[in-house]
Copies of this chain bind each other. A is one copy, B any other.
Amino acid sequence: MGTDPLTTLERYGCAVCPTRIVCTARNLDEQLLDQLAECIDTSAVLQRNDYLYRLGDPGESCYVVRSGVFKTMTLTASGEEFVTGFHYPGELLGLSGQATGEHSDSAQALAASTACAIRSDDFPEIFAIGAGQSLLRLIAEREHNDRCLENNLRQSKAECRIAGYLVVLIQRLQRLGFDGRVLPTPMSQTDLANHLGLTLECLSRVFGKWRRAGLIATEKDSITILNPKALDALTCHLL
């Protein structure tokens, strides 16, 4: 693995992290940032298709995406892949591994990506430093996101699901400071359809319809929202 891109990050830890404003490090002063960096392993540098962790790995750590995008997936009993989520910078992964002692999904980088590992053993230290509230908030934000997406899945109409997913994704990216008009989507439509519980054909038809209606434009690795209001109107407003 190439270690070059992260040398500065490793040296300065959380202090220079681009996502620190939304992460465990938010609201910490310089001194505490250094202490926090002791608790967090910032060494995970991954290329496209590398795995951050795999199904069955011991679940002693959870992870925060620092840059890039990750896909999490599991397997059905019949061996088919099952995409459980896409994870953008500042989002938490792999927490559920603590429940069973091992990860119940695999996490794969969809582009060159970096991630921080937080060992569950270090949680008490993080709370002792005073960064516990921020970590807790990170967990709560993940929970909040999950609920939104879960509610979205209860809608069985394809257009509602897809629009809802995009709208939630816009919100997630805006939290990071993006304008939310151009969504980086390094995943294949096949994976996206899988994740939404739809067939590729159905997703493709909806995207085609929306393109013709001037609602969105789809590029290779991104989706541009041309008419946010119209998209929002399709979401069934699940709050």
Contact = CB atoms under 8 A, between A and B. Distances in A.
Contacts of A170: none
Given A133-B120, A140-B95, A74 B239 contact: yes
Nearest to A105: B147
A9 B123 CA distance: 29
Contacts of A120: 133, 136
B197 A156 contact: yes
A206 interface: no
Contacts of A127: 123-124, 127-128, 132
Interface of A: 74-78, 82, 84, 95-100, 104-105, 120, 123-124, 127-128, 130, 132-133, 136-137, 139-144, 146-147, 149-151, 153-156, 195-197, 236-239
- Which residue, of A143, A144, A239, has the highest number of chain B Cβ atoms within 10 A? A143
A239 B76 contact: yes
A147 B130 CA distance: 29
A99 B151 contact: no
Contacts of A96: 140, 143-144, 147
Contacts of A236: 76-77
A154 B153 contact: yes
Given A77-B236, A82-B239, 19 more contacts: A74-B238, A75-B239, A82-B154, A96-B140, A98-B137, A98-B139, A98-B140, A99-B137, A99-B143, A104-B144, A120-B136, A123-B127, A124-B128, A124-B130, A127-B128, A142-B143, A153-B153, A153-B154, A156-B156
